Amino acid sequence: MRALVAILLGAGLLAGCAGGGSRAPACAPATAGATAEDAATGYRLGSSDQVQLTVFRQPEMSGQFALDGEGYLALPLVGEIKAGGLTSRELEDQIEERLRAEGYLVNPQVGVQVLTYRSFYILGEVNQPGSYEYRDGMTVINAIALAGGYSYRAAQDDVTIERGDCSMDTRADTAVLPGDILQVPERFF
């Protein structure tokens, strides 16, 4: 009887270990299957991104600005604007509305272009794990190449991405976004 209890208890412990423990929940299917082309259309600004702001015919209001740690931009006349979480189009609209509402310009025309994206990270079985500068159109295979390729111990088919509070399995053409954490696990023979 004791042997049976020990076996059941051991099986329960092993099942708990196999469950992944505190791993992040899976991403929604639309995000998990996203390609680099899909990712480029809806990029959301975040802390450490640097943008070029152009206010048409207003060079003193134009310039390069970096989002602070909380995702805010400090702009001339307009003051602080919460840019984190917005697309560049949404930020343009918000700045135009603020310039119009506060009476600075009658018909403001604003352009926002992302100059520098926040970094992404690669951990695990690659030759040079670490932080890397994001580039437009980045995919998993591009990211692995930047990190010097897979190590000889890498489980190349088991790469995952942690994005925000979710985790997803990847393919070579899965889009990598700024702030993503790529995990390349060790393979077991």
pLDDT tens string 74-125: 998 889 999 999 999 999 999 999 999 999 899 999 999 999 999 999 999 9
pLDDT reported for residue 23 = 52
156: nearest Cα among 144, 139, 174: 144
Superfamily classification of domain 50-116: wza like domain (3.30.1950.10)
Task: Check whether 178 has a pLDDT greater than 50.
Answer: yes
Burial class (CB in 10 A: 0-12, 13-18, 19+), 29: exposed
Q: Which two tokens stand for residue 188?
A: 């077991």
Architecture field, domain 24-41+118-184 = Roll (3.10)
pLDDT reported for residue 50 = 94
Q: What is the dihedral of CA 32, 94, 61, 44, to 10 degrees?
A: -10
**Comma-separated ranges of CATH 3.10.560.10 domains in the chain:** 24-41+118-184
pLDDT reported for residue 58 = 92
Which residues are paired to 34 by β-bridges?
A: none
pLDDT reported for residue 9 = 41
Mean pLDDT value across the chain = 83
| Model-wide pTM > 0.75 | no
Task: Check whether 25 has a pLDDT greater than 90.
Answer: no
pLDDT digits (tens, 9 = 90+) for 12-22: 434 333 444 44
**Comma-separated ranges of CATH 3.30.1950.10 domains in the chain:** 50-116
pLDDT reported for residue 165 = 87
Q: Cα(59)–Cα(15) distance, rounded to whole angstroms?
A: 63
